[in-house]
Each structure stands twice: as structure tokens, then as C-alpha cells.
């Protein structure tokens, strides 16, 4: 039960007003100045516009190469039609700036377009390195923005950070396991060949075929021929098969079944009649592919 003193204290303001006493300080009470994190944000807290100077790229972004020609085209589109979708950013207390999660290409193009601000989607909460990398990879893989070696290194990073297999990476990113296993095979090539792939001198398809050769010197020699335009991707694949053992010409269909002690069987078919030498070669190639998938941690469906 309230005391008499408490009751009088509660009524004192009304009593003074009834006797003509008025407050003399009519200055409005101002809201506190916004912190750097809140500048540019709207009442709907997860979207807003920021100065491009308040945003920095993620140094761990898997994509490192940006086509200047493509950036110019995107800058022209943004200048004429505006920004069609916001970039995704997260706040860094250390830098006191927003770090790009997805959309660095749009941010760069906005700068080229001469615009001072960019639409953003703000990601709240702490994101672990794996979550950030996964989000960046999903966007880049879906847009096919990554170079082959960048993609392969990003897949490998996800496997290392999460302790994942190649199959788990494929499931998380909604890509095929073969895409992951083929990409990881590129990282086993000599560095000079990887540089040619990164520079676009050799396609990822040709590089994957070259990775099937066991000898680095042979790999480098064949890669040089591809880089010089002497061999196309199908020709490179044929050259690899020839180095693994030249198949003999055949005229009739071949169909052979081999049974294992564990109940499994392997069926080899061909459009023409071949020899056991041909079967040996195709089984060696299949075994090489199986070993790549095993090393990538891929599992059978």
C-alpha cells in the first residue's frame, strides 16, 4: 500500500499545474545521434542505402578476377535502369564498415557508374567463416561467376573448414558431385598448368582430361599444346587416351561382364567389337575416376 508521501509526490505535478505553474524549458528532446552502423538504414532494418565508401570487399571472397568489359556493361545498365537487386553486407566492428557477402561485382559497377550510394540487404548476427563462404559460393556458382581454379579452391576450403566430403559440398551448394570432383582434380595439376587455366589459356574440360595423366612432365607438355591452340578439348581428351593406350579399330559391338567375389559386377559395352586391351584401357580410366571421387569423399546415391 502506497504511503502518503508517495501519493503526494505523484500528485505534485498536477497540483502545481492547477496553480498556474508551467515548465519553462520547451526545447525538444532530441533522439541520440545514430552510430556508424545505423547510418543509411531505414525503419525496416534489413534494407537500406549506403554510401559506397562505407562498404569494403571481403578479403576472403573466393572470386578474385572481374572482367572489366563485363563491369562496364553492368555499370551502363545500372546507370540507365538502376540497381535491380541489393547487395548483401555484414557489419564489421573492427573496420567500422560494411563487408560485402554477395554482390561485389554490383558494388564495383556502381562505382564505375559514378553513383554515390547502393541498395543493401543487411545481414544481422555473427556469421562463421564457413557460412559466409557457403553463401558466397552459392551466389557465384548459380551465376557461374567463378573461374575454374577459384571454384576448386573454394570447394577445397569448404571441405577443410567443415570437415566435409565432396558429396557434402555438392549437396550444400546444390551442384552435382561430378562438378566438385572434376574441380578438385584441377588442384592436383602442376602450378604452371593451374595458372594457364586461371588465365583462360586452357579450358577446365581440357585441364581435367590432362589431370588423368600420371606424369607431371607429360601433363605440362600436353597443356602447352592446348594453350598454343594446337589441340581442342576433344583432341586433348583423345591425346590422353592415346597416351594411356591406343585403342584398336573394331567393327562389332562388344559386351563383357566381370563378376567380383563380393557380388558386384562390372559391365563393359562398346559400339564396336574390341579387344581385352580396349577393355583394360576403359577400366583403367573408370578406376581413375573412381579414385578421384573417393579422394573427394563422394558417396554413391
One pLDDT digit (tens) per residue for the chain, 301 residues: 456 666 656 555 555 555 555 555 555 555 566 677 666 665 556 788 899 999 998 877 666 667 788 788 888 888 888 887 788 888 888 888 898 888 888 898 899 999 999 999 888 767 766 777 767 666 655 555 567 888 888 888 888 877 888 888 888 877 888 888 999 999 999 999 998 888 888 988 899 999 999 889 999 999 999 988 888 888 888 888 888 765 544 455 778 888 888 888 888 888 777 778 788 888 888 887 788 777 777 776 5
The model's pTM is: 0.49
Residues annotated as catalytic (active site), given as ranges: 104
d(CA 164, CA 288): 22
Strands 97-102 and 47-51, sheet pairing = unpaired
Residue 185 pLDDT: 93
Provide the edge-to-edge strand list for the sheet that holds 97-102.
47-51, 117-123, 87-92, 97-102, 55-56
CA angle 176, 181, 186 (to 5 degrees): 130
d(CA 161, CA 243): 37
Residue 210 pLDDT: 92
Within 10 angstroms of residue 285's Cβ, the number of other Cβ atoms is 15
Residue 32 pLDDT: 60
What's the chain's Rg over C-alpha atoms?
31
Q: Which long-range contacts (CB under 8 A, 24 or more apart) does 176-184 make?
A: 177/293, 177/296, 177/298, 180/155, 180/296, 180/298, 181/289, 181/292, 181/293, 181/296, 181/298, 182/208, 182/292, 183/148, 183/151, 183/152, 183/155, 184/152, 184/155, 184/156, 184/292, 184/295, 184/296
d(CA 197, CA 223): 10
| CA dihedral (284, 288, 289, 293) positive or negative | positive
Q: Using an 8 Å Cβ cutoff, are 278 and 247 in contact?
A: yes
Report DSSP letters for 181-207, one per residue: HHHHHHTTS-HHHHHHHHHTSS-HHHH
d(CA 51, CA 163): 38
| Best CA proximity match to 235, nearest among 225, 220, 248 | 225
Structural domains for the chain: 36-131 (3.90.1530.10), 146-244 (1.10.10.2830), 254-295 (no CATH)
Amino acid at each position: 500500500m502506497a504511503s502518503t508521501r508517495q501519493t503526494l509526490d505523484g500528485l505534485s505535478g498536477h497540483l502545481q499545474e492547477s496553480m498556474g505553474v508551467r515548465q519553462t524549458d520547451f526545447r525538444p528532446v532530441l533522439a541520440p545521434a545514430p552510430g556508424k552502423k545505423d547510418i543509411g538504414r531505414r525503419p525496416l532494418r534489413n534494407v537500406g542505402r549506403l554510401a559506397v565508401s562505407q562498404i569494403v570487399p571481403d578479403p576472403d571472397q573466393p572470386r578474385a578476377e572481374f572482367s572489366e568489359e563485363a563491369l562496364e556493361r553492368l555499370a551502363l545498365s545500372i546507370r540507365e535502369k538502376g540497381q535491380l537487386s541489393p547487395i548483401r553486407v555484414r557489419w564489421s566492428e573492427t573496420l567500422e564498415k560494411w563487408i560485402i557477402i554477395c554482390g561485389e561485382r554490383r558494388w564495383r559497377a556502381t562505382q564505375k557508374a559514378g553513383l554515390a550510394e547502393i541498395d543493401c540487404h543487411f545481414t544481422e548476427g555473427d556469421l562463421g567463416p564457413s557460412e559466409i563462404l557457403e553463401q558466397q559460393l552459392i551466389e557465384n556458382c548459380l551465376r557461374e561467376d567463378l573461374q575454374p581454379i577459384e571454384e576448386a579452391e573454394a570447394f577445397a576450403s569448404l571441405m577443410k573448414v567443415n570437415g566435409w566430403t565432396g558429396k557434402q559440398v555438392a549437396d550444400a551448394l546444390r551442384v552435382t558431385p561430378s562438378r566438385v570432383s572434376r574441380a578438385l582434380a584441377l588442384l592436383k595439376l602442376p602450378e604452371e598448368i593451374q595458372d594457364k587455366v586461371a588465365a583462360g589459356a586452357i579450358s577446365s574440360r581440357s585441364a581435367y582430361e590432362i589431370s588423368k595423366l600420371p606424369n607431371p612432365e607429360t601433363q605440362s607438355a600436353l597443356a602447352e599444346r592446348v594453350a598454343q591452340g594446337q589441340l581442342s578439348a576433344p583432341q586433348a581428351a583423345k591425346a590422353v587416351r592415346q597416351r594411356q593406350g591406343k585403342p584398336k579399330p573394331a567393327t562389332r559391338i562388344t559386351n563383357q561382364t566381370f563378376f567380383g567375389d563380393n557380388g558386384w559386377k562390372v559391365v563393359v559395352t562398346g559400339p564396336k567389337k574390341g579387344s581385352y586391351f580396349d577393355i583394360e584401357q576403359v577400366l583403367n580410366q573408370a578406376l581413375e575416376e573412381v579414385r578421384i571421387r573417393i579422394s573427394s569423399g563422394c558417396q554413391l546415391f
